[in-house]
Amino acid sequence: MHLDGAVLLVTGASGGIGKVLVPMLRARGAQLLLSARHAEVVTRQADDAGCIAIPADLAQPGGAAKLAAEARSVHGRVDGVIHAAGVGWRGPAQDTEPDVVDTVLAVDLAAPIALTNALLPDLVTVPHSHVCFVSSIAGMVGVAQESLYAAAKAGVLRYAESLRLELADRGVEVSAVSPAAVQTTFFAHRGAPYHRRHPRPLQPVRVATAIVAGIEAGGGYRVVPRWMGVVPRLRALVPGPYEWLARRMD
């Protein structure tokens, strides 16, 4: 996708990776529609950046469809969407309350799917439109105490892969980025701090850079940092030693 003049909707824009993305995309000439749950925060951010704010709570039923309709009404079209909104959860599976299950699956999996589907009528009419998904290393391999989050992010990756195959001949580009831990407020909001010595948390600008690179390259899949891409290969080649190592690192 050529970013200059493109109308892009960015979810999760008020913090973390999404917040860092905004000035990078603006510098390339993109017209941004910024969405986040906290209306005051995202509105102030949009005003400062010369963008349009569309507050939305993607955990609510119908939130994705409403956001798509409001985004379309601003410029009469949407050329691309970056799914940067996300919530996490860490804890024993048996301690996961039903409302937590509903929220994580709604924001991390159901909303990106619903929002993409709602925008596809626009995207298929635009040459080189783009859909970008922010997944996680947790979506590539199992993670103890993070089964719910890992399942949601794995679903995002399979959806992105399937969508890219399906839309390859219709002009819609699809990219996905799977970062390791990122140094944002994500861990504070999930209720448990990051506890591993390795890999060390990334600066969000590294992930944002990979997202922009994927958009400008016309799609594809990226792992950040790149060396973490060896993890699922290691699991496939030597599952026994991999599981032993994964248990020790938890």
Domain encompassing residue 92: 7-249
Inform me whether the pLDDT recorded for 74 exceeds 80. yes
In a domain, residue 133? The reply is yes
Mean pLDDT over each residue of the chain, to the nearest integer? 90
pLDDT confidence band for 143 (50 / 70 / 90)? confident
Q: In 10 A of CB 140, how many CB atoms?
A: 20
In a domain, residue 2? The reply is no
In a domain, residue 1? The reply is no
| Residue 221 annotated to the active site | no
For the domain that residue 160 is a member of, what is the CATH number?
Answer: 3.40.50.720
Inform me whether the pLDDT recorded for 220 exceeds 80. yes
Mean pLDDT of 52-57: 97
Question: Of 149, 159, 194, 242, which is the active-site residue?
Answer: 149
The tally of domains found in the chain comes to: 1
Inform me whether the pLDDT recorded for 187 exceeds 60. no
Inform me whether the pLDDT recorded for 199 exceeds 90. no
SS3 call for 20: helix
pLDDT of residue 88: 84
With CA atoms as reference, report the closest residue to 128 among 170, 174, 78, 171: 171
pLDDT confidence band for 248 (50 / 70 / 90)? low
How far CA 18 is from CA of 11, 81, 123, in Å, comes to 7, 12, 21
| Whole-prediction pTM | 0.90
